[in-house]
Amino acid sequence: MTSSPDRWWPRLPQQTREWLVEHNGEVLSDEAVLDLSRVAGPVSADPWWVGHRGPDGVYLSDECVDWVEAVANGETPEGVG
């Protein structure tokens, strides 16, 4: 598993990448959590991409939201994590 989104983003299924762009900043779907856990580290390990965890579910970290936003805007974001 790799921590930098520029390394794991391409490994996510296209459908998950599209969902993350369309729903950036929202609670993650169960499918998105599973896909992210496979390529970027499990939620239980508290990887950097996990922001808030609460009764509604799991949210991306602010860093990861910013990274996905840059991708959505056609920019080349810097690696974080």
Query: What pLDDT does 67 receive?
Result: 93
Query: What pLDDT does 28 receive?
Result: 96
Q: Which residues pair with 50 in a beta bridge?
A: 60
User: Looking at residues 20-41, what average pLDDT do you find?
Assistant: 94
Question: Structural domain boundaries of the chain?
Answer: 5-72
Three-state SS annotation for 2-29: CCCHHHHHHHCCHHHHHHHHHCCCCCCC
pLDDT in tens, 36-76: 999 988 888 777 788 888 899 999 999 999 999 999 999 98
Tokens linked to 32: 């998105």
> Is the pLDDT reported for residue 1 higher than 50?
no
- The overall pTM is greater than 0.75: yes
Tokens linked to 44: 């239980």
User: 38, 27 in Cβ contact below 8 A?
Assistant: no
Tokens linked to 72: 């959505």
Check residues 15 and 79 and name the one with the higher pLDDT. 15
Give residue 70's identity as a one-letter amino acid code. A
The label of the residue with tokens 């989104």 reads: 5
